[in-house]
């Protein structure tokens, strides 16, 4: 254990910028999602207005493994996409500021989703999300999901931050 608490966002020095690590308690302040739909455990390397890396520790105790598939559990691809979207939503809220905490970020489109390898219990998903562009409250992202060094899924998507 590094001694960091997950309650607050912490600055982490990198070679060219300051990045942040955001724990689950802070994620729940930033996003409206709750069990069973919280798909990320923490977000690392947050560079506001640029990128972030979501972390999902996949456990055999996940609710979706009861039916997908009991004899050979595989994380549903749509939930990998949701984990990517939640990582992006944390990035959006962090970029926009505290007034946007708890606001909904809706999918507008998902493009070029590809699932390369199955994600199974015991895997740690690293969800690399990069902002490609933004116009007003509409954001475009590119996301890649990795287990260790292997690309397991990728997608591009557009989302809208709802202000009401």
Q: Which residues are catalytic?
A: 68
**What does the angle CA 98 – CA 99 – CA 100 come to, to the nearest 5 degrees?**
85
Q: How far apart are alpha carbons 112 and 142 in whole angstroms?
A: 10
Q: Where are the alpha helices (DSSP H) in 24-121?
A: 24-30, 77-96
Q: Where are the alpha helices (DSSP H) in the chain?
A: 24-30, 77-96
Tell me the HSE value of 44 on the side-chain side, using a 13 A CA sphere. 10
């Amino acid at each position: 254990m590094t001694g960091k608490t997950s309650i607050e966002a912490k600055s982490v020095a990198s070679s060219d910028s300051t990045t942040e690590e955001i724990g689950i308690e802070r994620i729940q302040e930033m996003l409206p999602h709750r069990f069973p739909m919280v798909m990320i455990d923490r977000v690392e390397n947050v560079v506001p207005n640029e990128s972030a890396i979501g972390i999902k520790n996949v456990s055999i105790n996940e609710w979706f493994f009861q039916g997908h598939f009991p004899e050979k559990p595989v994380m549903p691809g749509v939930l990998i996409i949701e984990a990517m979207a939640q990582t992006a939503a944390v990035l959006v809220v962090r970029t926009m500021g505290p007034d946007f905490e708890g606001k909904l970020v809706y999918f507008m489109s998902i493009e070029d989703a590809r699932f390369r390898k199955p994600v199974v219990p015991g895997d740690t998903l690293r969800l690399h999300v990069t902002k490609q562009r933004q116009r007003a409250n509409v954001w475009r992202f590119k996301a890649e999901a990795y287990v260790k060094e292997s690309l397991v899924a990728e997608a591009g998507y557009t989302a809208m931050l709802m202000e009401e």
